[in-house]
């Protein structure tokens, strides 16, 4: 089986896994314990925090570890709302945000907050004019993801966060799909907070973090927590933190080189679909606003779930969108943001590339999809006769 679902999760890097085992078995102390074994764990924890802060060009004082991107989104939004820059109860977010953002927004709506959700334009981007026009005097928070997990479009966070900052509005961004994939150093100083996760970058699952600008005097969501300065309670998962740090160092070191390789691989996949190009619609932005590893598309007349199962039968693991929606029978959120109708939404599929994706396998996947679509056409002709 060849894996093309790296936006859902990645296999753990071998070196990161070795570090995980070493820390779990040798540096196992509780970082809060006062004895030397605890102290050794605490030193490693702070070294990891320092290293991640350097990779992201942020102050380590604002970096908190969590159980992953979902919890980070929740806690960051709650923290920002505990310390708004002005009075008001209006929040703006993207329609295609991850379900963890929508989950906290639903909770906040019940508490009396007014939520405005912004769609994508035809290129899968938030319209900046629309964002500006949606801002009200009582807008206190804007939450917009950096890279969409289903189509890979890169939002212009720098401009939007800068505008919010100038208007005394907190800006949170979900960096889960951009951390380790593109350079974040130019935008980390502008946002109020961002979230990241270990398992999208060949680190362990169940680990991630939040950066909250240290100038924000947030109040804890969970009462009486002692770990992470009260930001999140619970004994820290130090093996996972150390392994995520190694994975982050490795992926960021090779980021630029990987990006150019992925661009040609994406091109090769799309070219392989040439024989059915009249039926293929790839949702993408211009090159400089597009992560090459995520290809979100649909093929007219072919149900995405059926195509995914056919690909699976033929040895390729692809996806119909966000893995977090399995079992929910709802189409990928991005389809709503893009304004697709119900039928078009069911046709959506996502192919996402990773380090082990070889160009010959990518081309073979494209040819396999062409074969499936062409044989589906002949089957339906036979059925109609």
Which of 173, 192, 197, 213 lies at the binding interface for ligand PLP (CB under 6 A)? 197
Residue 150 vs 361, nearer CB to ligand PLP? 150
Q: According to the binding rule CB under 6 A, does residue 145 interact with ligand PLP? A: yes
From the list 63-71, 120-128, 213-221, 300-308, the region that binds ligand PLP by CB under 6 A is: 63-71
Which 324-363 residues touch ligand PLP, going by CB under 6 A?
A: 324
Q: Nearest Cα to 32, choosing from 229, 215, 291? A: 229
DSSP secondary structure letter of residue 227:
G
- The span from the CA of 170 to the CA of 147, in Å, is 19
- The span from the CA of 202 to the CA of 270, in Å, is 26
What is the bridge-based pairing of β-strands 280-283 and 208-212? unpaired
Q: According to the binding rule CB under 6 A, does residue 153 interact with ligand PLP? A: no
Angle, helices 359-384 vs 255-272, to 10°: value is: 30
Query: Could you please report the per-residue DSSP string of 271-331?
Result: HHTGGGGGGEEEE---GGGB-TTEEEEEETT--HHHHHHHHHHTTEE-BSS-GGGTTS---
Residue 77 vs 176, nearer CB to ligand PLP? 176
Q: According to the binding rule CB under 6 A, does residue 173 interact with ligand PLP? A: no
Residue 42 vs 67, nearer CB to ligand PLP? 67
Number of residues that bind ligand PLP (CB under 6 A): 14
Spatial contact of 79 and 218, defined as CB atoms under 8 Å apart: yes
Buried b / exposed e along 102-126 (16+ C-beta atoms within 10 A): bebbeebeeeebebbbbebbeebbb
Q: According to the binding rule CB under 6 A, does residue 228 interact with ligand PLP? A: no
Nearest approach, Cβ of 145 to ligand PLP (angstroms)? 5
User: What are the structure tokens assigned to 298, written together?
Assistant: 């649909």
From the list 162-170, 173-181, 229-237, 303-311, the region that binds ligand PLP by CB under 6 A is: 173-181
Q: According to the binding rule CB under 6 A, does residue 176 interact with ligand PLP? A: yes
Look up 324 and say whether it is catalytic: yes
Q: According to the binding rule CB under 6 A, does residue 70 interact with ligand PLP? A: yes
Q: Tokens 């479009």, residue? A: 153
Which of 29, 62, 69, 124 lies at the binding interface for ligand PLP (CB under 6 A)? 69
- The span from the CA of 210 to the CA of 193, in Å, is 7
3-state secondary structure of 378: helix
Q: Which residue is nearest to ligand PLP (CB)?
A: 69
User: What are the structure tokens assigned to 107, written together?
Assistant: 């909770």
The arrangement of strands across the sheet holding 280-283 comes to 280-283, 294-299, 348-352
Nearest approach, Cβ of 24 to ligand PLP (angstroms)? 20
Which of 16, 29, 56, 98 lies at the binding interface for ligand PLP (CB under 6 A)? 98
Q: According to the binding rule CB under 6 A, does residue 208 interact with ligand PLP? A: yes
Q: According to the binding rule CB under 6 A, does residue 293 interact with ligand PLP? A: no
DSSP secondary structure letter of residue 58:
S
Which of 68, 204, 304, 366 lies at the binding interface for ligand PLP (CB under 6 A)? 68
From the list 130-138, 172-180, 308-316, 342-350, the region that binds ligand PLP by CB under 6 A is: 172-180
Nearest approach, Cβ of 197 to ligand PLP (angstroms)? 3
From the list 16-24, 67-75, 210-218, 286-294, the region that binds ligand PLP by CB under 6 A is: 67-75
Which residues are near ligand PLP by CB under 6 A? Answer: 68-70, 98, 100, 145, 149, 174, 176-177, 197, 199, 208, 324
Residue numbers annotated as active site: 324
């Amino acid at each position: 089986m060849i894996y093309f679902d790296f936006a859902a999760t990645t296999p753990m890097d071998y070196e990161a896994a070795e570090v995980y085992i070493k820390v779990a078995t040798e540096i196992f102390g509780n970082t809060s314990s006062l004895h030397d074994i605890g102290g050794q764990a605490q030193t490693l924890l702070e070294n990891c925090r320092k290293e991640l802060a350097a990779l992201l060009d942020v102050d380590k004082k604002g970096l908190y570890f969590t159980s992953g991107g979902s919890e980070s989104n929740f806690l960051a939004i709650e923290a920002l709302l505990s310390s708004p820059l002005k009075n008001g109860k209006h929040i703006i977010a993207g329609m295609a945000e991850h379900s963890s953002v929508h989950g906290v927004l639903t909770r906040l709506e019940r508490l009396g907050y007014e939520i405005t959700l912004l769609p994508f334009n035809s290129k899968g981007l938030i319209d900046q004019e629309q964002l500006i026009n949606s801002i009200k005097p009582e807008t206190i928070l804007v939450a917009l993801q950096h890279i969409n997990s289903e189509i890979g479009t890169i939002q212009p966070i720098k401009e939007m966060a800068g505008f919010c900052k100038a208007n005394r509005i907190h800006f949170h961004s979900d960096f889960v799909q951009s951390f380790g994939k593109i350079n974040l150093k130019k935008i980390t100083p502008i946002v109020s907070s961002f979230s990241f996760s270990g398992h999208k970058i060949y680190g362990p699952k169940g680990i991630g973090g939040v950066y909250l600008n240290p100038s924000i005097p947030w109040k804890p969501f969970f009462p009486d927590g002692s770990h992470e300065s009260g930001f999140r309670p619970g004994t820290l998962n130090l093996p996972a933190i150390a392994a995520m740090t190694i994975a982050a160092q490795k992926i960021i070191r090779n980021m630029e080189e990987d990006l150019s390789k992925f661009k040609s691989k994406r091109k090769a996949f799309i070219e392989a679909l040439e024989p059915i190009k009249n039926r293929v619609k790839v949702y993408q932005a211009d090159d400089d606003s597009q992560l090459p590893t995520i290809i979100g598309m649909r093929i007219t007349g072919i149900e995405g779930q059926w195509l995914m199962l056919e690909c699976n039968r033929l040895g390729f693991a692809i996806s119909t969108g966000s893995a977090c929606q399995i079992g929910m029978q709802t189409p990928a959120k991005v389809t709503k943001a893009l304004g697709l109708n119900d039928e078009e939404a069911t046709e959506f599929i996502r192919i996402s590339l990773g380090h082990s994706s070889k160009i010959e396998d990518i081309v073979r996947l494209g040819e396999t999809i062409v074969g499936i679509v062409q044989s589906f056409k002949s089957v339906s002709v036979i059925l109609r006769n």
